[in-house]
Amino acid sequence: MTDQLEILNERVLTAEPTAVFNAIADPSTLALWWGPHGFTNRIDAFDFRVGGDWRVTMTSSDGTDFANRWTFHEIEAPRRVVALHHEPMHVFTLEMTFEEAEPGTRLQWRMLFEPTEENRELQKFIRAANEQNLDRLEQVLQEGNQ
């Protein structure tokens, strides 16, 4: 139980946990799928270790850039990654867990926000955007398995 606002998405993917973990741990693969539909990514820094910095510029389909800054808090290959999102706008923690499940991996994508009114209003939008993000991940994993 938490006093924070939790947004949880879950997906069973047809790839093994190591492949799903590596799609996050490898910045060139991560850049292919990160974010909702219509976004492209430029990874400016990626220090994949506890305390390491991750900077990604996400560009929307209309050409607007969104510079994002993250810090990795926990990395347990190939089972878990926890990172803190600092900016823009919303500070939140993202916890991704990967466990074996037929036919491959159950990915839990858990975001924790302060329970502000603004964050509550964004909750439905964020959940839907996360589903698009997972769609993109699933597509990259399927293309990699062919």
Give domain status of residue 47, yes or no: yes
Calculate the CA dihedral of residues 120, 121, 125, 127 and round it to 10 degrees: 10
Give domain status of residue 57, yes or no: yes
Give domain status of residue 1, yes or no: no
pLDDT of residue 29: 97
Give domain status of residue 72, yes or no: yes
CATH number for position 118:
3.30.530.20
Distances (CA, A) of 4 to 110, 127, 136: 12, 15, 27
Give domain status of residue 17, yes or no: yes
Give domain status of residue 41, yes or no: yes
Terminal CA-CA length for the chain: 41
Give me the domain span that covers residue 51. Answer: 7-144
Amino acid at 102: E
Tens of pLDDT, residue by residue, the chain (146 residues): 568 999 999 999 999 999 999 999 999 999 999 999 999 999 999 999 999 999 999 999 999 999 999 999 999 999 999 999 997 678 999 999 999 999 999 999 999 999 999 999 999 899 999 999 999 999 999 998 64
Q: How many domains is the chain partitioned into structurally?
A: 1
Give domain status of residue 2, yes or no: no
Give domain status of residue 67, yes or no: yes
Q: Which residue in 77, 83, 11 sits closest to 53, CA to CA?
A: 83
